Structure 1
Amino acid sequence: MCGIAGIFHYESVKPVDPNRIGRMIDALASRGPDGAGVWTAPGVGLGHRRLSVIDLAGSPQPMHSADGRAVIVFNGEIYNYRRLRHELEQGGAQFRTDGDTETILAAWQRWGPRCLDKLDGMFAFALYDLKKRQLFLARDRLGVKPLYVARLAGGALAFASELKGLLANPLMRRTIDPLAIEDYMTWGYVPDHRSILKDVEKLAAGHYLLLEHGREPSPPVKWWDLSFEQRARGSAEDLSAQLLHLMREAVSSRMVADVPLGAFLSGGVDSSSVVALMSEVSAKPVTSCSIGFDVADVDETSHARKVAELFGTDHHERIVTADQFGEIDRLVRIFDEPFADASALPTLRVCELAREHVTVALSGDGADEAFAGYRRQLFQAREEQARAILPRALREPVFGALGKLWPKADWAPRPMRAKTTFLALATSGETGYARALSILAPEQRQEIFGEGLLRERGAYRAEHPFEKLMREAPARSGLDRAQYADLKFWLPGDILTKTDRTSMAVSLEAREPLLDHRLLEFGARLPERQRIRGTTGKWLMKHTMERYLPEDILYRPKQGFVTPLAQWFRGPLASEARAVASSELLTGSGWFDRKALSRLADNHIAGRSDNARTLWQLLMLERSLRHLKPSG
């Protein structure tokens, strides 16, 4: 795993200062502590920081092709590189290294951009073809590995694995995009179609960019998509056998490394499944890592320990206190952009623990999106059934009125929290699902935004791109569309960003076997009954893993990392809540209404309402804006 950066002059062939590339990659040092390299030629410069995982001594970067006609900087892993290398050798390719990087170079020279279809892995890379005078930027199918791109003055394009790499370039302007604040306050992160800075974009998952000197950059090209339009046939047992084969292949292919390798183990279905399949093929005990909390209600170490004992893993666990708020500024530096998923704190902790024992860790990320494991997906499927029966002319007035009248009761038992459901049933499926996934609904944002932000965002709403994605999804049902949106929007924006940044902050490579594209394509073809049965999500996956895992692991209620935000903002962070409410960075710009923020903080501290998630969003935004301000 690595960090990459570079500059490309597309208007004219200007020289690139290697020291500038050096500063950009130095900002990414935690992504690659084992080596650094810079290469420049007229009009282009590439930089690389290396975390050695495969071919430890033999694959330095930037790397040239055997014939010297192409050079690459690469972040990621290609899991099928040995098979692909054999195919290329049959066609006459020659290799000087034993790693996967050189395989990409040879694949580009054989197939051009179509080489991406051949790559099974997680990656973001920049490849410069000296003969064609082209720069090829590409990102993997799901967006496991990030790539930020920015236009600079003078007809240049800069790119880096993280925003901090771009910020190290003195030509980068740091103008905040107000639409990104609308997006962030809706979702809790800045989605991949936008960046917190106006001049910066993220290359979307499953897309590539091909640049040439003397030509204005063309829009990115989509090279991969996932379709839910077909349905697999066969009995549950036949489909289960296919699923198990694909899961075994996905896990075993991600166990190739020349450094110590292990797994995150929470004791839930997904990480336990990965550990079970790793143990099946490993010649020695799998190294597993878990963290727990000093609050019994949210501690899952007993479940993780049970799985570890079942498979005889070399298990490591650590109990951390709930009082992790001292890490806020560190999180801000890790993510650069505002990021309000509070589970980033415990994720960072488990990455730190894992790095003490291994260099590579397999995670269970992706199964909920691929096989319908989230409660919101189950609710969406049921709501779509109701929408199909009840005409919209009836639903809108009845459920709309109920939704407006029903109190917002976060403290109440789940069956009593009907406000969101009523409001969702009054609208279309995509609007309802956007509401279910968002942190703040449009009317809640309206209450706290200032006149300046309301004016600057105009008619735009953060839900618009999400709803469009769902409407245009290659899908047959509401559940299909919900899963498609989760895989395309939520997964790269939140889940994969969280895992990449926290793991790379401690120089740990995280791999996601349950996001193998063949596994995802199989999941997208499953009949709905094989995904959801009754109130059980991920049904086929759980049924398949019954041969490995006990029932209380497979079928207990889902529980993620929990951070006690509500208690923090009524206790040690109460002063922070009040400070955020009066922050000049938030209110002086006209982006937020000072009185509304003060009410939000006061009502939470007094216990009149639970505004913890919104206060956390505001705190992380305020700290991020401080971080992004130009020094001096």
Structure 2
Amino acid sequence: MCGLLAIAGGIPPDTDAALEALQHRGPQGRGQWSQPGLFLGHTLLSLATALPVAQPLINDELGLVAVVNGEFYGHEELRRELQVQGCHFRTELDSELLLHLYARRGLDGFTALRGEFAFVLCDLRKNRLYAVRDRFGIKPLYFRSDPRSLIFSSEVKAIRALGFPLEWDPTSLFQAASRQYHNLDRSLFAGISMVHPAHFLEVDLRDRSWTERPYWEMPLRQAQNRSDAEAAELLRQQVQEAVSLRLRTPHAAAIHLSGGLDSTAIACLAAAAGSDCRLFTVSYPGSAYDELEQARATAAFLGLPLQEVRVDAKAIAASLADAVVSSEGLGINGHHSAKFLLNAAIRRAGHKLALSGEGADELFAGYPFLIAGRQDAAVRGIMHAAGQGLSLAAVLSELGRIPAFFAAKAALGLAHQSLLAPDFLAQFAASDPFLDAIRQPGFAAAAKGRSELDLSLFHWIKSALPQYILRTLGDGCEMPHSIEGRVPFLDHRLCDFAATLREDQLIRDGQEKFLLRQALRGLIPEEVRVRRKHPFMAPPVIAQPPLLALLRDSLGHCPTHYCPRRLGRVIEALPTMSEAELKRWEPPLFLFLSSVALEQGMQR
């Protein structure tokens, strides 16, 4: 992947510093283009064997200039169609497709794009700028608007490097403190927003006024009456294609491998496609959360090398600040550090490309909170409620039902709010963070007509997936190490197909991802295929000495929205807490540690 920067209006003098702040996203080259009132910059991470072609992409004949972060799949077929229509391509870049697609189809061209991407496209003849983000939010795109300029960037760091100090956004903090996720149009930083997934901003370059519009929405379920065997075969073909498309590169791919179904499927399908890949797994030695045995079994099944990244409480504490500052997000578990360390190991091994299994749980109903009556101890406090929670009565009144994971987040929110400063909470006495969540623009219309299962998945995909799974744990932990992450399950064509499955093909007899398991029969080790879902989580470590020491030290750097006295009481009680109490307090205390690290990082 790459880093992009675009500025309309007054151009600050520190654009070189801003591009330097994005250098880890593209260490192989840097390019820029400007005219009065408009600047586009780019840092390049290339997976091509030939000499990399620098961006911005410029086509004077069409009056277009663009910077692209990401990858467009299936571009060869679209390229041939456009060439038949008279389009003349100057490079073999997949990104160049964007210019000709827009020139021929206008805004409708965005819907033809398939992949992980964020880009800024300028139509100089029409005085229009378009900032576009992929359908699920795999790639980030921030923006800042003030009377003088409108700035777009892959990361907040670049905006800060332009001379704009970073400060907390109190509303976003309250929302994140109460339910882990803030609204999609916000960021944690005052005055900085994010382009919504599956949306584009259209900017009039004459006055920098802008509107945001969707170009895609999650499809409503239109179940087709297929047999399990027929549906499983079609699903197998779809997943195979999604994996194969993401391996069309001369570079050997690394595979994030756990002991679970999804990452094992990616590894096995990549190997079946003839890819020269290597497996990497996180191990938590001596813990019930450790999946090393299953990962080793998969590596032996495939005859592929496996590199083990061992992570313990000391490693989690030592790397947490770097993980937080790099990802510009708040974590709730030691898996934040683990993902950061995993990608560091992948880079040290010489890889620039990594595939992972994110997205399968969202498309095929893999989460334990979706199954009535199920309580998995490993995710208590994160996906299952640990204790009482904030009221969800208003959500129930408005929707007539409550998305399944809201109870867990409400319990996290109640515990976390008890650590916050009374003066901070008083600002939001009249606010309901969960009503704020369901009342986001476009949500009511898009959620209408969805079943209880699909409503829960809809809200998860609109909150946890883009903000935490893809940004904080995904791109935010990959790109600091110049790793291009690809997620085959989050192919929108696969999503469209998943919407044609019956709900009993998703969950059957208490087994999650039923049809995906059927589709993978014979392709992956049988013991993994039938194994129950185990989310990628680090074991509870908050009461272990390295984390206790970090907590006590962090009290001396406490952000003003926290109450040091309340925090101190909980921290000192940790050594005597029961296992259930520790699971309740670990997510709020990791949020605190993340806040301290991010605030210090903002001030560097």
Compute the TM-score of the two structures, normalised by the length of structure 2.
0.90
Aligned residue in 2 for 1:395: none
Match of 2:550 among 563, 576, 594: 576
Aligned residue in 1 for 2:424: 453
Partner secondary structure for residue 464 of structure 1: helix
- Asked whether the 8 Å contact 2:127–2:206 carries over to 1, the reply is no
Aligned residue in 2 for 1:483: 457
Q: Is the aligned partner of 1:319 residue 2:321?
A: no
Partner secondary structure for residue 463 of structure 2: helix
Q: Which whole-Å CA distance do the structure 1 matches of 2:449 and 2:553 have between them?
A: 46
Partner secondary structure for residue 357 of structure 2: coil
In the TM superposition, residue 418 of structure 1 has moved relative to its aligned partner by 8.3
Aligned residue in 1 for 2:563: 593
In the TM superposition, residue 22 of structure 1 has moved relative to its aligned partner by 1.8
Q: Which whole-Å CA distance do the structure 1 matches of 2:379 and 2:499 have between them?
A: 35
Match of 2:79 among 85, 89, 94: 85
Q: Which whole-Å CA distance do the structure 1 matches of 2:385 and 2:178 have between them?
A: 20
Q: Which whole-Å CA distance do the structure 2 matches of 1:5 and 1:413 have between them?
A: 38
The residue type paired with residue 596 of structure 1 is R
Q: How does 1:354-503 map to 2 (within 5 A)?
A: 354-355=346-347, 356-379=349-372, 428=396, 430-431=401-402, 433-438=404-409, 440-468=411-439, 472=445, 473-497=447-471, 498-503=473-478
Aligned residue in 1 for 2:250: 258
Aligned residue in 2 for 1:520: 495
In the TM superposition, residue 435 of structure 1 has moved relative to its aligned partner by 2.9
Partner secondary structure for residue 152 of structure 2: strand
Q: How does 1:197-208 map to 2 (within 5 A)?
A: 197-208=189-200
Q: Is the aligned partner of 1:110 residue 2:104?
A: yes
In the TM superposition, residue 474 of structure 1 has moved relative to its aligned partner by 4.3
Partner secondary structure for residue 108 of structure 1: helix
Match of 1:612 among 583, 586, 590: 586
In the TM superposition, residue 423 of structure 1 has moved relative to its aligned partner by 8.3
Q: Which whole-Å CA distance do the structure 2 matches of 1:308 and 1:441 have between them?
A: 37
Q: Is the aligned partner of 1:538 residue 2:509?
A: no
- Asked whether the 8 Å contact 1:227–1:475 carries over to 2, the reply is no
Greater shift, 460-469 or 500-509, is seen at 460-469
Q: Which whole-Å CA distance do the structure 2 matches of 1:521 and 1:221 have between them?
A: 20
In the TM superposition, residue 340 of structure 1 has moved relative to its aligned partner by 3.4
Q: 1:189 to 1:352 in 2, by over 3 A?
A: farther
Q: 1:168 to 1:418 in 2, by over 3 A?
A: closer
Q: 1:515 to 1:129 in 2, by over 3 A?
A: same
Q: 1:51 to 1:168 in 2, by over 3 A?
A: same
Match of 1:509 among 484, 489, 513: 484
Q: Which whole-Å CA distance do the structure 2 matches of 1:183 and 1:490 have between them?
A: 13
In the TM superposition, residue 337 of structure 1 has moved relative to its aligned partner by 3.7
Compute the TM-score of the two structures, normalised by the length of structure 1.
0.87
Q: Which whole-Å CA distance do the structure 2 matches of 1:457 and 1:98 have between them?
A: 53
The residue type paired with residue 319 of structure 1 is R
- Asked whether the 8 Å contact 1:480–1:524 carries over to 2, the reply is no
Q: 1:449 to 1:337 in 2, by over 3 A?
A: same
The residue type paired with residue 524 of structure 2 is L
Partner secondary structure for residue 5 of structure 1: strand
- Asked whether the 8 Å contact 1:335–1:501 carries over to 2, the reply is yes
Q: How does 1:95-244 map to 2 (within 5 A)?
A: 95-152=89-146, 154-170=147-163, 172-188=164-180, 190=182, 192-244=184-236
Q: Is the aligned partner of 1:602 residue 2:596?
A: no
Q: How does 1:35-74 map to 2 (within 5 A)?
A: 35-54=29-48, 56-65=50-59, 67=61, 69-74=63-68
In the TM superposition, residue 248 of structure 1 has moved relative to its aligned partner by 1.2
Specify every segment of 5 or more residues in structure 2 that has no aligned partner in the other structure, as ranges. Answer: none
Q: 1:121 to 1:131 in 2, by over 3 A?
A: same
In the TM superposition, residue 311 of structure 1 has moved relative to its aligned partner by 2.1
In the TM superposition, residue 215 of structure 1 has moved relative to its aligned partner by 3.0
Q: Is the aligned partner of 1:334 residue 2:334?
A: no
Q: 1:310 to 1:506 in 2, by over 3 A?
A: same
Match of 1:23 among 4, 10, 17: 17
1:127-171: CA deviations, max 9, x gaps?
A: 11221222111000111000000013x43101110111111111x
In the TM superposition, residue 118 of structure 1 has moved relative to its aligned partner by 0.9
In the TM superposition, residue 98 of structure 1 has moved relative to its aligned partner by 0.8
Q: Which whole-Å CA distance do the structure 2 matches of 1:619 and 1:370 have between them?
A: 32
Q: Which whole-Å CA distance do the structure 2 matches of 1:582 and 1:239 have between them?
A: 57
Greater shift, 425-434 or 271-280, is seen at 425-434
The residue type paired with residue 38 of structure 1 is Q
Match of 2:286 among 292, 295, 298: 295
Q: Which whole-Å CA distance do the structure 1 matches of 2:437 and 2:173 have between them?
A: 16
Q: 1:149 to 1:426 in 2, by over 3 A?
A: closer
- Asked whether the 8 Å contact 2:179–2:413 carries over to 1, the reply is no
Q: Which whole-Å CA distance do the structure 2 matches of 1:261 and 1:277 have between them?
A: 12
